[in-house]
Amino acid sequence: SYDFGVGAGFYLNATTDKYRKHYQMVDYVTEELPELILANFPAMPGKASIMGHSMGGHGALTIALKNPGKYACVSAFSPITNPSQVPWGKKALPLYLGADEAKWKSYDTVELVKSYEGQPLRLLVDQGTKDEFLTEQLRPEALQAACDEKGMALTLRMQEGYDHSYF
């Protein structure tokens, strides 16, 4: 379905028996993919950035927060910001990580912001005001509150009239 598995990944390293062998997305994005890029393109080591849309935006944010200093910048379009507290996350996280909700927090941007101890990091988030998932699933206001409390720089740009697909 579009909200689990084939169409949605949550960009995590799965730990449950069903998914752990073939579902190690954090390792792919932080280790394998950069090696491939550096070996095949004229990229500059140490100058990486990360971005994504929807669950990819969620992944970009969590990966940057879990890897202080690895990325020069991070941006996200319509990211899920607090998956441990919304229906999509409550559906997917136990399937990938098991029932222990404490493990879910390690893939929750809001929770990672609250516990962040790395070098200063600026977050850029663009969010459409007509996004059908805005209130129930994405919750950018939770991210704004966590960043305000932590003193982390967040530019949250609400894009008037845009939906989840940015059309």
Task: Return the pLDDT at 144.
Answer: 98
17 is catalytic: no
Task: Return the pLDDT at 2.
Answer: 59
Which tens digit of pLDDT belongs to each residue from 44-59? 888 899 999 999 999 9
Q: Residue written as tokens 């967040």?
A: 154
Q: Which of 53, 75, 84, 164 is catalytic?
A: 164
In sequence order, what are the beta bridge partners of 46?
A: none
At 76, is the secondary structure helix, strand, or coil?
A: strand
Which tens digit of pLDDT belongs to each residue from 84-134? 999 999 999 999 999 999 999 999 999 999 999 999 999 999 999 999 999
100 is catalytic: no
49 is catalytic: no
pLDDT, mean over the chain: 93
| Among 31, 111, 26, CA closest to 60 | 26
Task: Return the pLDDT at 8.
Answer: 55
Q: Which pTM was predicted?
A: 0.93
